[in-house]
Amino acid sequence: MTPEVISVLVLAALFVLATIRNVHLGAAALAASWIVGTFVFDVSVDTVLGGFPVGLFVTLVGVTYLFAFAERAGAISAIVYVAVRLVRGRISLIPWVMFLVTALITSVGALTPAAAAIVGPIALGLAKRHRIHPVLMGMAVIQGASAGSFSPMGVYGMIVNDVTRANDLPSSPMTLFGAAFGFILLTVATAYFAFGGRQLLRADRGGAAEHISLERPVVDAKLVWSLIGIVVLGVEAFVLDHDIGFVALMIVCVLAAIFSDIAKGAVDNICWPTALLVCGVLTYVNLLQNMGVVDWLGNSVASIGAPLLAALIICLIAAVVSALASTTGILGALVPLAVPFLLTGEVWAIGLVAALAVSASVVDCSPFSTNGALMVAYTEEERREHTYKQFLNWGGALVLLGPLASWGALVVIPSLG
């Protein structure tokens, strides 16, 4: 068995192990990087560690630290409160408000599980109170988190854009964001009408709007300055193009120095497991790249002789694995593995990267994913088992339909043009 085959089988085994056993994928990937690097490719530890994505680690830590502080300061609750007040009693708009609020939160750097964990209880509580289907509300939160996360400041967007730039591929952060957001929006619209949206609209038109109540947040200095900090981060990222991670660290350190009581414990809420996950997987993938495995695998896919079929296979792999494991991890793994195929120029690189992103993210409603599991957990107990089965069916359908639709629109149509 060749070293290339061994290293790819190890990568597949890592995802399987993390799925069926309580093993952290990032930690396992780091350990595998040393084992495969040392005993299969006979390279030094320094060479293995050279693939650790330091810049991305700083970005994840800085952004999630700022978000953790803002959440403790009440900024996120304030955003939800204002958004819900804007619907003025129109129940049919609540799922869309939850979608947009969650997308807004992740678009400025919050991790999708963190956004789902914060908005989810509010959303499912509103669903129970106003008789909105829990799957519809859960889909709004889950897909909103994914849609926003593909912004240039979002975690998914940063991962994909960083990988494409590092491999000298054509990159268009706003095209990625727009394509992913559009496809995910269509997914939510489908769920809206599949799970009671028409009834909600009829109730509103019939004058059956109800009073929507949420506790008014206490607006104080720490809340206001946390919101200002998030806005400043957005300006720095979108307008001034400064390093997001270091800017976020600077902002949160200033806020922590001013509001030290709120800062206490915020660093504990940095999503260290996700940082370990992403950096561990990318360290292993970077090792494969340096050893030529990525080129070998990409050329193998390209050798199928049908570029469009190869692109569809890659998208289907992304959907299947992401439905059972980490979307963050699969984005970090599959985009580099597709690089040699993309460099052939036989398909539109930006379109295929966007299709991969859509395929891996729309299946986050699977109850085996973190966000899907959270929504099932937040559902009222008497409906939980039925809701689980519906999320399972919906996720299974999207494993097939997501790749097919994104592949058709972003890969096939541009290639025919």
* Domain range for 385: 3-416
pLDDT score, position 194:
92
pLDDT score, position 71:
81
pLDDT score, position 89:
67
pLDDT score, position 303:
73
Average pLDDT of the residues in 100-111 = 87
Name the band, by pLDDT with cuts 50, 70 and 90, for residue 55. confident
Average pLDDT of the residues in 99-115 = 86
What is the b/e burial string over 16-38, where b = at least 16 CB atoms within 10 angstroms of the residue's CB? ebbeeeeeebbebbbebbeebbe
Q: How far is CA 97 from the centre of its chain?
A: 19
Name the band, by pLDDT with cuts 50, 70 and 90, for residue 325. low
Q: Which of 145, 142, 139, 140 lies closest to 157 in space, CA to CA?
A: 145
Give the residue carrying structure tokens 């609020």.
101
Average pLDDT of the residues in 11-17 = 86
Give percent of the chain above pLDDT 90. 27
Please tell me the distance from the alpha carbon of residue 402 to that of residue 184, in angstroms, as a whole number: 9
pLDDT score, position 257:
94
Average pLDDT of the residues in 330-339 = 76
pLDDT score, position 65:
87
pLDDT score, position 302:
66
Whether residue 44 is predicted with pLDDT greater than 90 in this model: the reply is: yes
Q: Which of 293, 313, 290 lies closest to 301 in space, CA to CA?
A: 313
Half-sphere exposure of 40 (CA within 13 A, CB side): 23
Name the band, by pLDDT with cuts 50, 70 and 90, for residue 126. confident
CB 70 within 8 A of CB 76: yes
Name the band, by pLDDT with cuts 50, 70 and 90, for residue 372. confident
Whether residue 407 is predicted with pLDDT greater than 90 in this model: the reply is: yes
pLDDT score, position 82:
76
More confident residue, 267 or 213: 267
CA 181 to each of CA 41, 122, 211, 215, 358: distance values in angstroms, whole numbers, following the listed order: 40, 23, 31, 30, 9
pLDDT score, position 342:
75
Q: Residues 175-210: pLDDT tens digits?
A: 899 999 999 999 999 999 999 888 888 877 765 444
Average pLDDT of the residues in 337-343 = 73
Q: Residues 132-181: pLDDT tens digits?
A: 899 999 999 999 999 999 998 888 998 888 888 877 788 888 989 999 99
Torsion of CA 125, 104, 414, 335, to 10 degrees: -90
Task: Looking at mean pLDDT, say which of 215-224, 294-303, 372-381, 397-406 comes out highest.
Answer: 397-406
Name the band, by pLDDT with cuts 50, 70 and 90, for residue 405. very high
More confident residue, 46 or 274: 46
CB 360 within 8 A of CB 334: yes
CB 358 within 8 A of CB 337: no
Please tell me the distance from the alpha carbon of residue 146 to that of residue 180, in angstroms, as a whole number: 8
The count of domains in the chain is: 1
Please tell me the distance from the alpha carbon of residue 354 to that of residue 95, in angstroms, as a whole number: 25
Q: What's the sign of the alpha-carbon dihedral 373, 375, 381, 384?
A: negative
Whether residue 237 is predicted with pLDDT greater than 70 in this model: the reply is: no
pLDDT score, position 33:
95
Average pLDDT, the chain: 84
Name the band, by pLDDT with cuts 50, 70 and 90, for residue 35. very high
Rg of the chain over CA atoms, in angstroms? 21
Give the residue carrying structure tokens 């089988």.
9
Q: Residues 22-34: pLDDT tens digits?
A: 888 889 999 999 9
Please tell me the distance from the alpha carbon of residue 367 to that of residue 273, in angstroms, as a whole number: 20
